[in-house]
Amino acid sequence: MTNHFIDFKNTDVFLMIGSNSAENHPQAMKWIMKAKDKGAKLIVADPRLTKSAGLSDIHARLRPGTDIAFINGMINYIIEKDLYFKDYVLNYTNASYLVNPEYKFEEGVFSGLVETNGKKSYKLDTWMYQMEGGDLAKDGLKKENIKKDPTLQDPNCVFQILKKHVSRYDMKTVCKITGMPEETFQKACQLFASTGKPDKAGNVIYAMGITQHTYGSQNCRVLCVLQLLLGNIGIPGGGVNAQRGESNVQGSTDFAMLNHLLPGYNPMIYASKHTKLQDYLDKDVPKTSFWSNRGKFLISMLKAWYGNKATKENDFCFDWVPKHDGKERSHMGIFSEMSQGNIKGMIAWGQNPAVGGPSAFQGRKAMEKLDWLVAVDLFETETAAFWHRPEADPAKIQTEVFFFPAAMSYEKEGTVINSGRWLQFRYKAVNPPGEAKSDLWIADRLFKAVKKEYQSGGKFPEPIRNMVWNYDIPGEDEPNIDQVAVEINGYDVATGQVLPGFAKLTADGSTACGCWIHSGYWAEDKEAKTVAAKRRLLKDKSGLGLFPQFAFAWPANRRIVYNRCSMDAAGNPWNPKKAPIKWDALQGQWITEDVPDFKASDPAPEPNGKPIPVPPDKTVPFLMLEEEHARLFAVKGVVDGPLPEHYEPIESPVKNLVSRQQNMPLTVRFKGDFSKIAETGSKEFPYVGTTHRVIEHYQSGAVTRNCPSLAEISAHMFANISPKLAQQIGVKTGDDVVIETVRGKITCKVSVSGVCVPLNVEGKEVEVIGMPWCFGYMGIAKGATANDLTPSVGDPNTSIPEYKAFLCNIKKAGREVS
Ligand SMILES: Nc1nc2c(c(=O)[nH]1)N[C@H]1C(S)=C(S)[C@@H](COP(=O)(O)OP(=O)(O)OC[C@H]3O[C@@H](n4cnc5c(=O)[nH]c(N)nc54)[C@H](O)[C@@H]3O)O[C@H]1N2
Ligand SMILES: Nc1nc2c(c(=O)[nH]1)N[C@H]1C(S)=C(S)[C@@H](COP(=O)(O)OP(=O)(O)OC[C@H]3O[C@@H](n4cnc5c(=O)[nH]c(N)nc54)[C@H](O)[C@@H]3O)O[C@H]1N2
Ligand SMILES: [Mo]
């Protein structure tokens, strides 16, 4: 999130899109309702009438997978009616930048599309700016060197390119694609566009309805473009706010539980391009902007991992880090390899892919190819139990399965990071039952056992033997969690002293830091008499809900990122009533309630001298980007297009109306067991299926389906269908139905209500079927797994699967599915 939950109270209009906060993020909903009590309005864009939609002012019902059409249409409305925030757009975005005249967009395809060895990708050179002066290779995207047209009239300027691009998304076209009534579309546009004024805040809240598509990243991008045009980023009550998932999923991505990242969102090291440290510094450390510090973060991370062994002479042991081989190593990539017998063993640590993964039926079959499986979990999940699942013959499965019982979050201490980037330490409430141990304990013993094996040799023992691993407390069973925290936070190598924040990190090996963005969370707050992550001071001087001494918000305890944009160029707040920061021109100083997201002062010229304030005209709005202006047009950063464009989901009932390019050209696809896709407009599978969560169950349901009370109140797998479809197939609520896709079929109960209704898409009625994906064959409440139906195709930037839109058929159980 750019902002945070409490900040929602400052919002005037919410656009909740592809997120059902009332069920899945009740704390967010609490603050939304507080804002609503003060007159805020809520738009919910969702194919289903969710609990959130039930609380909305406008329910913008749309067909799954058509969000880009909807939002591009809204952007077109805003530009046509001149409702964008001009000062903001001109001063804080790249609207005025001129783009290479070779840039082209034709029939859904951007210039630069190439195909090598059957794999499509974009060459990015035609998406680049026109440069004047400077040397792109040497200076990077320095904004002074980029040609601009501040009148925004040049046909090659970003604003005109965007305007032309979205002009194809007129109301009629958008409504035909999305199935949204014109009146609803117009009302939603009007209401959200009203936040393009300096004193109004519009807030975009999104989640899995946006990301789980083959163009999920572009779905997120289009929301950013919208918010930039309305001047809604960096302001209280504004922002683009991803409602993250499991309570600590923010923490897991911060720590790079993703195959293409290192901790703190540094790019992964690739065998093909990084043979030595200098390659990384040359190729992946930008020449300008804040990220020019990346080398300090990487080297400090290597020091944290390899300690005294990491020296300048040996590239800080850069060579010891395992290198990515450039292949598809996401969840789907791994399961595809597994199905081909290329993976010997798997540790399923706090995950349940037998229920949660796409094409789960094929996924469970792939697991049979493993020699061994370790499950670290609270319960015997469907994954741990895959070898005795209903459809399998245990006698034929050779996989050796180990189960490590783990402690639940309340049974151990540690930090959890929420969607608002707050790191909060939690104490243990109760002891874990039986033999269950904390995940840290399990990791500690596992590492020590592996290290022991390497004492007698091994292929490449140095990184294992020399890894810093100093978490023992004499006489104690549990490893020293404080020591882990110090390593993550960063310390001075010579003195061992905890660092106050990432500004102190160096590239010379004198500092160590496991995850630079968290640096500062373990620093002492003298007033609170504890470290930042443990403090709970309820002080909110601004009244904006910033609570700067409650927990720690990464980076640098900043509560609202890009907060330079909450003021005009001269440092006057757009909305004086809601001002986290302002420039006091008389005194020549910044008055700050939040940590400035810009360089507010220069270091003192002499020891003990006061820092010198940097005046407003010397500050930049988006210091994380090389050009320091936000990208309406993305010259880099995404691989699949500089502007968001509507494509159909891989499985769709209709042809793409805006171009001849039916699908995202770079879609990640798989062969063999994971390749099955229904054809466009399939007669066999005429309905659009989508999956969602329910308040009673958590994720794959391992935790909640094992909880007797929750298992009782939500005991059955079901599908929501419209009354019209129910009549057509002859069912009523509670009947059993069979739902089938090209990949498999499931049997479940049907729920007939107005949650799903047919949508009028391109002149024909399209039925939507909604299914929760939380059921499986273990636990107290059992039910069919929706993921047996979902396709294994993914977004080219993130490889996230397309869980939210696919083709299916439905029949009353007992009748043949044709
Ligand atoms: N009770 C409960 N809370 C949870 C979880 C849980 O399992 N149970 N899971 C946690 C996790 S890990 C996550 S990631 C979050 C997820 O939180 P959400 O994203 O809110 O969860 P979903 O219900 O999967 O999807 C949200 C909505 O997207 C809609 N949708 C489907 N397709 C589309 C589309 O193409 N466009 C649009 N605009 N909407 C679409 C669905 O109808 C659904 O209402 O929730 C977290 N919180
Ligand atoms: N069709 C469809 N599929 C989806 C989604 C969707 O919207 N639609 N959403 C996707 C999303 S957003 C997500 S996040 C994934 C989730 O997919 P998974 O992560 O595979 O599913 P979970 O059920 O969250 O699995 C977490 C497991 O961790 C265990 N656990 C809980 N606490 C602890 C602990 O402290 N230590 C250990 N070791 N174990 C613990 C639980 O018992 C559970 O078995 O599913 C994805 N799958
Ligand atoms: Mo998630």
Residue 82 in domain: yes
Which CA distances in Å does 695 have to 50, 692, 698, 713? 11, 10, 7, 11
Radius of gyration from C-alpha coordinates of the chain: 27
Closest CA to 522 of 570, 581, 493, 481: 481
- Across the strands, what pairs with 105? 110
Contact 6, 31 (CB under 8 A): yes
pLDDT tier, 288 (very low <50, low <70, confident <90, very high otherwise): confident
pLDDT-wise least confident of 133-142, 570-579, 628-637, 642-651: 133-142
Q: What is the mean pLDDT of residues 536-547?
A: 97
Q: How far is the CA of 283 from the centre of ligand 2 (A)?
A: 35
Closest CA to 693 of 770, 753, 799: 770
pLDDT tier, 405 (very low <50, low <70, confident <90, very high otherwise): very high
614, amino acid identity: V
Residues 6+ positions from 177 with CB-CB distance below 8 Å:
63, 66, 69, 646, 657, 658, 761, 762
Which CA distances in Å does 28 have to 3, 9, 110, 418? 12, 10, 38, 11
Ligand 2 atom closest to 245 (CA): 14
Which CA distances in Å does 314 have to 84, 199, 299, 300? 53, 55, 12, 14
Residue 330 in domain: no
416, amino acid identity: V
Q: What is the mean pLDDT of residues 332-356?
A: 98
Q: Are residues 87 and 230 in the same domain?
A: yes
Both tokens assigned to 422: 């707050």
The predicted pLDDT at position 26 comes to: 95
User: Ligand 1, atom 35: nearest CA belongs to which residue?
Assistant: 64
Q: What angle do CA 56, 62, 68 make, to 5 degrees?
A: 110
Residue 602 in domain: yes
Q: How far is the CA of 356 from the centre of ligand 1 (A)?
A: 13
Contact 450, 464 (CB under 8 A): yes
Please name which ligand lies nearest the alpha carbon of 19. Answer: 1
Q: How far is the CA of 245 from the centre of ligand 3 (A)?
A: 4
Give φ, ψ of 15 to 5 degrees: -115, 100
User: Ligand 1, atom 10: nearest CA belongs to which residue?
Assistant: 245
Both tokens assigned to 102: 């070779």
Please name which ligand lies nearest the alpha carbon of 23. Answer: 1
User: Which residue among 241, 253, 692, 771 is best mutated to probe the pocket of ligand 1, counting the most ligand atoms within 8 A of its Cβ?
Assistant: 692
User: Ligand 1, atom 44: nearest CA belongs to which residue?
Assistant: 20
The predicted pLDDT at position 718 comes to: 98
How far apart are the C-alpha atoms of 203 and 42, rounded to whole Å?
A: 10
Both tokens assigned to 675: 């390749």
Residue 581 in domain: yes
Ligand 2 atom closest to 383 (CA): 44
Q: Are residues 228 and 155 in the same domain?
A: yes
Q: How far is the CA of 289 from the centre of ligand 1 (A)?
A: 35
Q: What is the mean pLDDT of residues 147-173?
A: 98
Q: Is the peptide bond before 101 cis (omega within 30 degrees of 0)?
A: no
Q: How far is the CA of 351 from the centre of ligand 2 (A)?
A: 5
How far apart are the C-alpha atoms of 479 and 265, rounded to whole Å?
A: 27
Q: Are residues 191 and 273 in the same domain?
A: no
Q: Are residues 208 and 277 in the same domain?
A: no
Q: How far is the CA of 694 from the centre of ligand 2 (A)?
A: 14
CB atoms within 10 A of CB 66: 29
CB atoms within 10 A of CB 393: 8
Write out pLDDT tens, residues 207-238: 999 999 999 999 999 999 999 999 999 999 99
Q: How far is the CA of 250 from the centre of ligand 3 (A)?
A: 10
Residue 135 in domain: yes
**pTM confidence score:** 0.98
Mean pLDDT in the chain? 97
Please name which ligand lies nearest the alpha carbon of 207. Answer: 1
The predicted pLDDT at position 732 comes to: 97
The predicted pLDDT at position 610 comes to: 86
Write out pLDDT tens, residues 90-125: 999 999 999 999 999 999 999 999 999 999 999 999
User: Ligand 2, atom 35: nearest CA belongs to which residue?
Assistant: 408
Residue 30 in domain: yes
Which CA distances in Å does 81 have to 127, 153, 164, 353, 481? 28, 17, 14, 48, 56
720, amino acid identity: N
How far apart are the C-alpha atoms of 773 and 359, rounded to whole Å?
A: 12
How far apart are the C-alpha atoms of 388 and 677, rounded to whole Å?
A: 29
Contact 57, 595 (CB under 8 A): no
Q: Are residues 52 and 26 in the same domain?
A: yes
Which CA distances in Å does 243 have to 17, 28, 255, 414, 425? 11, 8, 18, 22, 20
Q: How far is the CA of 646 from the centre of ligand 2 (A)?
A: 30
Closest CA to 509 of 797, 250, 271, 296: 296
How far apart are the C-alpha atoms of 743 and 46, rounded to whole Å?
A: 26
User: Which residue among 377, 386, 438 is best mutated to probe the pocket of ligand 2, counting the most ligand atoms within 8 A of its Cβ?
Assistant: 377
User: Ligand 2, atom 30: nearest CA belongs to which residue?
Assistant: 350
Contact 272, 280 (CB under 8 A): no
Contact 660, 740 (CB under 8 A): no
pLDDT tier, 816 (very low <50, low <70, confident <90, very high otherwise): low
Q: Are residues 38 and 76 in the same domain?
A: yes
806 lines ligand 2 (CB under 6 A): no
47 lines ligand 2 (CB under 6 A): no
500 lines ligand 2 (CB under 6 A): no
Ligand 1 atom closest to 213 (CA): 35
The predicted pLDDT at position 818 comes to: 45
How far apart are the C-alpha atoms of 23 and 7, rounded to whole Å?
A: 20
Q: Are residues 121 and 186 in the same domain?
A: yes
Q: How far is the CA of 358 from the centre of ligand 2 (A)?
A: 13
Closest CA to 636 of 271, 372, 284, 388: 284
Q: How far is the CA of 208 from the centre of ligand 3 (A)?
A: 7
Q: What is the mean pLDDT of residues 267-284?
A: 97
Residue 751 in domain: yes
User: Which residue among 208, 249, 697 is best mutated to probe the pocket of ligand 1, counting the most ligand atoms within 8 A of its Cβ?
Assistant: 208
Please name which ligand lies nearest the alpha carbon of 25. Answer: 1
Q: Are residues 737 and 783 in the same domain?
A: yes
User: Ligand 2, atom 17: nearest CA belongs to which residue?
Assistant: 356
Write out pLDDT tens, residues 691-717: 999 999 999 999 999 999 999 999 999
Name the domain count of the chain. 4
User: Ligand 2, atom 4: nearest CA belongs to which residue?
Assistant: 356
Contact 15, 202 (CB under 8 A): yes
- Of the three residues 191, 209, 242, the one that is the final residue of a domain is 242
Residues 6+ positions from 466 with CB-CB distance below 8 Å:
306, 307, 309, 317, 320
CATH of the domain at 765: 2.40.40.20
The residue segments making up the domain with residue 801 are 672-812
Q: What is the mean pLDDT of residues 249-276?
A: 95
User: Which residue among 703, 787, 795, 802 is best mutated to probe the pocket of ligand 2, counting the most ligand atoms within 8 A of its Cβ?
Assistant: 703
pLDDT(754) > 60: yes
Q: What angle do CA 481, 487, 492 make, to 5 degrees?
A: 135
- Which residues have C-beta atoms less than 6 Å from ligand 1? 17-20, 23-25, 45-48, 50, 64-65, 67, 207-209, 243, 245-246, 249, 690, 692-693, 695, 697-699, 770, 804-805
Please name which ligand lies nearest the alpha carbon of 700. Answer: 2
332, amino acid identity: M
pLDDT tier, 246 (very low <50, low <70, confident <90, very high otherwise): confident
Residue 386 in domain: no
10 Å CB burial of residue 572 (0-12, 13-18, 19+) is middle
Q: Are residues 721 and 769 in the same domain?
A: yes
Number of H helices, E strands in the chain: 22, 33
Q: Are residues 686 and 583 in the same domain?
A: no
CATH of the domain at 38: 3.40.228.10
Across 385-514, where does the E strand assignment appear? 400-405, 414-417, 422-426, 491-492, 511-512
Looking at the chain, the whole-number percentage of residues with pLDDT higher than 70 is: 100
Q: Are residues 500 and 579 in the same domain?
A: no
- Of the three residues 461, 496, 518, the one that is the final residue of a domain is 518
How far apart are the C-alpha atoms of 586 and 718, rounded to whole Å?
A: 65
Q: Are residues 578 and 683 in the same domain?
A: no
Q: How far is the CA of 104 from the centre of ligand 2 (A)?
A: 42
pLDDT(609) > 90: no
Across 503-577, where does the E strand assignment appear? 511-512, 524-525, 530-531, 552-553
265 lines ligand 2 (CB under 6 A): no
Q: How far is the CA of 656 from the centre of ligand 1 (A)?
A: 25
376 lines ligand 2 (CB under 6 A): yes
Buried b (16+ CB within 10 A) or exposed e, 200-230: bbbbbbbbbbbbbbbbbbbbbbbbbbbbbbb
